[in-house]
Chains A and B, each alone.
Chain A
Amino acid sequence: MTHAAGIDFRHTHGGRGKKYLFETMGSGVATTDFNGDGQSDILFLQSGTLPPDEFRENLLKRARHATGSSCKLYLNDGDWSFRDATSGSGLEEPFYGMGLAVGDVDSDGDRDVYVATYGNDRFYTNDGAARFTDATLASGIRDRRWTIGGAFFDADNDGDLDLYSLAFVDMPLSDNRYCGTPPDLRQYCHVDGWEGLDDRLWINDGRGVFENGSQAAGITGKNRRGLAIVGSDWDDDGDMDLFVANDSQANLVWRNEGDATFTDISGMSGADLNEHGKSEACMGSDMGDLDGDGDPDLYVANYEAETNTLYRNDGSGFFTDVSGSSGTGRPSRDSLGFGTVFVDIENDGNLDIYVANGHVMDNIEESGDGQSTYAQPDLLLMNDGHGRFVQAEGGVSEALHEPRVGRGLARADLDGDGDHDLVVSNSNQKPWVLRNDLGGGNSLAVRLLGPGGRADCEGAKVVVTAGDRTWVREVTAGGSYQSHSDSELIFGLADVTDVDSLSIRWPGGETSRHGPLKAGRRYVFQFGGELINETPLER
């Protein structure tokens, strides 16, 4: 449905045969409401351009990189129609974009954007009408290193959004090595050749001005290669903990102590390594209650020949690798996964898993084992409601049978009909904008406004009960790969038409209770619990 939606974005990595590692990364996508009209828009990051003011002239000459276009902002006009609103948006500046994080950092009711790049990171403030101002300097976010993405969340429980930014490797433009078989088959080098970098925690003063609080937070000294982050209160103590997926190194699991300090519980949590005691080339991840027991489980997309890994939450923040017994492992073994989101495709009340696939080596057909391909179909794993999965047939979507080079991935209800649609940013290709026509079950959409006028309420947890069924969903932070998904919670209800109760645990610990409520409607709650809007879903 990409063309019909009016989306003409095409990603470019800008490479011309020199095989710079950053060309393999693709870039992210954000799906959320940028202009305050209540509909989710789409922001595609672009790569390609190495800005001349950031790199030495001789290095740029040697790199022979093409100049790419800027990122593209599409505003949602409804009826599955999108308008290119990049011009005049303030986002036209070209850079080598990697990933993004979206959050209302100045609590003025609109969503601002952090952009991680190969080069100087950017921070843009939104005026509420999807016109952005480059506020990098004023924000205090200064990072010239190779960063991948990040997540906005309230690290210190002071009511504003802080930023965890993911750093990758220390590979200056001058350090492009030759890998492969000269002279004909040059390949992208394995990332292991470069040192990993520390992630950073940027603490917000409440006005959108940040200080590097990494040292005080206790997150330094790891030097890993971060590729994905997801924040969730998986130990249910009222603050957001963090999972960081690393490339070919043990993952990091940070327990939030509630005061902007973090404890490394990677080993103890069980999610540092897979069940074979091996680290994996982890690319994308998401968290949510996959087995219906009320706590968030974790899924990580990995390299080809590694299975993707499903870590089941045992209820107290301990995770067990159940990739084999859940059926999620085998279908993922022959593909290389990046963007990963949980989405209830059929609105049957069970979260399914969607993974954007694509190899990193553009000549893998020549250099691999004869089985691997650069472009790969995406993967959709359907949940039986007990945490067991089967692979969806290719006929369900063109993206599941037509191979592309998937990277960024985000979900949102783009057509307002009460199910999640998907957007996949494909490397050096057109994206997928996938309208979900399978969400046949009833549903209920919940949007939560944050404290102090904040546009979203990261960290809130919602419990919906109907008869003997209960669903728990959380406004998580980050997730997927390089991307940001809209924070609206959609509860698939199958054939349930009336919900007995809906309770919201707000950041800070207060709980509000509501109900009974009708399915088929969209509810907006003010921070604290006041219902401020209720509209029917557009079905």
Chain B
Amino acid sequence: MKFLLSWRAYFASLLVLTWLVALACGQPADSSMPPEEAAKALPEESVEPLTFEAARDAAFELEGKGGDDEEIHDAFSAVHSMRPEAYGVNVKLGQVCVRLGLLEESVAAFARAWAVRPEDMETLRALVTQLVEVGDLERARDLLQELKVHPQQVGNALFLEARMLGMSEREEQHAQAVLLLEEALALPPEEAVETLVVLGRWMLERGLFEESRQALLAALVAEPGDTGVLKGLATACWRMGLDTEASRWQEILELMLGLRDNVFTREQKTESGAANQRFAIERSEYIRREIEAHESRLIRLIEIHPAWGEGFLELAQLQAEGAEPTKACATIEAYLKYHAAELSSEAGEALKSSYCR
């Protein structure tokens, strides 16, 4: 039981933490009373540890079972009121608040959690994210600097910084956006992809078409099948008069749309059960109707956009299911030729052996 503080010590630390949290949250802290003095005003008695633990465990269990978010929120709120500084409880409370759209409350919860574990960069990231969401950009900017010094968080920090760009309109933001783009381009694409997409769209809205194109081209390296990126690229190129390039992105985009479009996706239609209750087409009928068009779309796609590896695999599977093993094997061989560097040799061999028997 050595990790358990005495109740008096517990409340003393609680007040210290509350003070820290108040600072972190920018809430009015009683600056006239240092935390150690304030601790003297603590009550002698509070919730029994076992009561707290039982409530905490029940809340975690409810969350683990995927319960209703309102109930999860109420459960963690109750536990939080018993022990306001409990780190894990605050993290969970912050997360459920995000899901419920209780943004101010999520900020407070993440701030309490981070005050307990200032080395926890994930919680700091969550805190800054919610500060951006509630529009408290000043506090978000301060904490971003802290986030940015941790190498694993550079990409996240850049993303948040890019998001903040769109939340206020100032002329100097154009220069800042260009600087951010340079930083993002220096990162591995997969770490910077969200930032690049946000920057690309931001620049597109403001007429920085070439910069937008650069950002989106870099994003496409990590996400070659992202229709939003393709749409942005087509738009930027049309605006710049790069009609040939624009037409290429537009064709890829439209082929992609033929494969998977809208909130009612093609995938849903091929499944049975609840998801396709509103679709009158059964899987067999759908495949019969669409298979030729689907195949020709994929063939054209991998021809003009071979960077999209998923297209090769989808085509090979379609060909194999359509009793065309030779074609399926050729498709896989083409995939391996183009995407060899992305696979281990074992994975490549396994793929080849399953399609080229």
Is B207's CB under 8 angstroms from A277's CB?
no
CB of B231 closer than 8 Å to a CB of A: yes
CB of A276 closer than 8 Å to a CB of B: yes
CB of A314 closer than 8 Å to a CB of B: yes
* Contacts A180-B278, A250-B257 given; does A278 touch B235 at CB 8 Å: no
Most interface-central of A273, A281, A318 (chain B CB within 10 A):
A273
CB of A190 closer than 8 Å to a CB of B: yes
Decide if the interface of chain A is mainly helix, strand, loop or mixed: loop
Is A179's CB under 8 angstroms from B227's CB?
no
Is A177's CB under 8 angstroms from B280's CB?
yes
Q: How far is the CA of A264 from the CA of B262 in the complex (A)?
A: 21
Interface residues of A in 272-330 (CB under 8 A from B): 273-281, 303, 305-306, 312, 314, 318, 320, 322, 324-325
Q: How far is the CB of B344 from chain A (nearest CB, A)?
A: 32
Segment with Cβ contacts to A, from B114-122, B123-131, B146-154, B246-254:
B246-254
Segment with Cβ contacts to B, from A110-118, A181-189, A468-476:
A181-189
* Contacts A178-B280, A248-B262, A320-B205 given; does A278 touch B227 at CB 8 Å: yes
* Contacts A181-B277, A277-B256, A318-B239 given; does A248 touch B201 at CB 8 Å: no
Is A179's CB under 8 angstroms from B277's CB?
yes
Q: How far is the CA of A325 from the CA of B227 in the complex (A)?
A: 20
Q: How far is the CA of A187 from the CA of B276 in the complex (A)?
A: 11
CB of A367 closer than 8 Å to a CB of B: yes
* Contacts A270-B235, A281-B262 given; does A276 touch B250 at CB 8 Å: no
Q: How far is the CA of A320 from the CA of B206 in the complex (A)?
A: 10
In the complex, chain B residues whose CB is within 8 Å of the CB of A322 = 205
Is A189's CB under 8 angstroms from B205's CB?
no
CB of B261 closer than 8 Å to a CB of A: yes
Q: Which residue of B lies closest to A193 (CB)?
A: B280
* Contacts A275-B201, A276-B228, A314-B239 given; does A267 touch B234 at CB 8 Å: yes
Interface residues of B in 186-207 (CB under 8 A from A): 201, 204-205, 207
Is B228's CB under 8 angstroms from A179's CB?
no
* Contacts A250-B254, A279-B262, A303-B263 given; does A189 touch B279 at CB 8 Å: yes
CB of A268 closer than 8 Å to a CB of B: yes
In the complex, chain A residues whose CB is within 8 Å of the CB of B228 = 275-278
* Contacts A270-B238, A275-B231 given; does A314 touch B262 at CB 8 Å: no
Interface residues on B, range: 20 to 34
Q: Which residue of A lies closest to B228 (CB)?
A: A276
In the complex, chain A residues whose CB is within 8 Å of the CB of B277 = 179-181, 187, 367
CB of A192 closer than 8 Å to a CB of B: yes
Q: How far is the CA of A268 from the CA of B251 in the complex (A)?
A: 11
Is A279's CB under 8 angstroms from B278's CB?
no
CB of B264 closer than 8 Å to a CB of A: yes
CB of B21 closer than 8 Å to a CB of A: no
CB of B232 closer than 8 Å to a CB of A: yes
In the complex, chain B residues whose CB is within 8 Å of the CB of A178 = 280
Is A276's CB under 8 angstroms from B246's CB?
no
Q: How far is the CA of A178 from the CA of B279 in the complex (A)?
A: 9
In the complex, chain B residues whose CB is within 8 Å of the CB of A179 = 277-280
Q: How far is the CA of A455 from the CA of B234 in the complex (A)?
A: 42
CB of B230 closer than 8 Å to a CB of A: yes
Is B207's CB under 8 angstroms from A189's CB?
no
Q: How far is the CA of A501 from the CA of B280 in the complex (A)?
A: 58
Interface residues of B in 225-284 (CB under 8 A from A): 226-232, 234-235, 238-239, 246, 250, 253-254, 256-257, 261-264, 269, 277-281
Q: How far is the CA of A187 from the CA of B201 in the complex (A)?
A: 38
Contact of B231 among A180, A193, A248, A277 (CB under 8 A): A277
CB of B166 closer than 8 Å to a CB of A: yes
In the complex, chain A residues whose CB is within 8 Å of the CB of B226 = 277
In the complex, chain B residues whose CB is within 8 Å of the CB of A192 = 264, 269, 279, 281
Is B278's CB under 8 angstroms from A189's CB?
yes
Is B261's CB under 8 angstroms from A279's CB?
yes
Is A314's CB under 8 angstroms from B207's CB?
yes
Contact of B250 among A248, A267, A275, A367 (CB under 8 A): A267
Q: Which residue of B lies closest to A194 (CB)?
A: B280
Q: How far is the CA of A133 from the CA of B263 in the complex (A)?
A: 44
In the complex, chain B residues whose CB is within 8 Å of the CB of A280 = 262-263
Q: How far is the CA of A180 from the CA of B274 in the complex (A)?
A: 8
- For B201-231 the 0/1 string (1 means CB < 8 A from A) is 1001101000000000000000000111111
Q: Which residue of A lies closest to B207 (CB)?
A: A314
Interface residues of B in 144-166 (CB under 8 A from A): 166
Q: How far is the CB of B107 from chain A (nearest CB, A)?
A: 19
Q: How far is the CB of B228 from chain A (nearest CB, A)?
A: 4
Q: How far is the CA of A92 from the CA of B261 in the complex (A)?
A: 42
* Contacts A189-B280, A275-B231, A306-B263 given; does A268 touch B246 at CB 8 Å: yes
* Contacts A250-B257, A280-B262 given; does A325 touch B166 at CB 8 Å: yes
Q: How far is the CA of A267 from the CA of B234 in the complex (A)?
A: 8
Is A277's CB under 8 angstroms from B230's CB?
yes
- For A164-205 the 0/1 string (1 means CB < 8 A from B) is 000000000000011111000001111011000000000000
- For A20-62 the 0/1 string (1 means CB < 8 A from B) is 0000000000000000000000000000000000000000000
* Contacts A314-B239, A320-B235 given; does A277 touch B278 at CB 8 Å: no
Q: How far is the CB of B96 from chain A (nearest CB, A)?
A: 17
* Contacts A189-B278, A190-B264, A267-B250 given; does A320 touch B204 at CB 8 Å: yes
Most interface-central of A248, A267, A279, A318 (chain B CB within 10 A):
A267
* Contacts A187-B278, A267-B254, A314-B207 given; does A305 touch B263 at CB 8 Å: yes
Q: How far is the CB of A456 from chain B (nearest CB, A)?
A: 34
Q: How far is the CB of A434 from chain B (nearest CB, A)?
A: 30
Q: How far is the CB of A391 from chain B (nearest CB, A)?
A: 15
In the complex, chain A residues whose CB is within 8 Å of the CB of B278 = 179-180, 187-190
Q: Which residue of B lies closest to A248 (CB)?
A: B262
Interface residues of B in 294-350 (CB under 8 A from A): none
Is B238's CB under 8 angstroms from A276's CB?
no
Q: Which residue of A lies closest to B231 (CB)?
A: A277
Q: How far is the CA of A49 from the CA of B225 in the complex (A)?
A: 47
Q: How far is the CA of A187 from the CA of B279 in the complex (A)?
A: 10
- For A326-367 the 0/1 string (1 means CB < 8 A from B) is 000000000000000000000000000000000000000001
Which 7 residue pairs are nearest across A and B when measured between Cβ atoms? A277-B227, A277-B231, A177-B280, A193-B280, A276-B228, A190-B278, A267-B250
**Sample of 9 more A-B contacts, CB < 8 Å, known A277-B226, A277-B257, A314-B207:** A190-B280, A192-B279, A193-B281, A248-B262, A270-B235, A279-B262, A281-B263, A318-B235, A325-B166
28 contacting pairs across A/B (C-beta < 8 A) = A180-B278, A181-B277, A187-B278, A190-B280, A192-B281, A248-B262, A248-B264, A249-B261, A267-B238, A268-B238, A268-B250, A273-B227, A275-B201, A275-B231, A276-B228, A277-B226, A277-B228, A277-B231, A277-B253, A277-B256, A278-B262, A281-B262, A303-B263, A305-B263, A312-B205, A314-B207, A320-B204, A320-B235
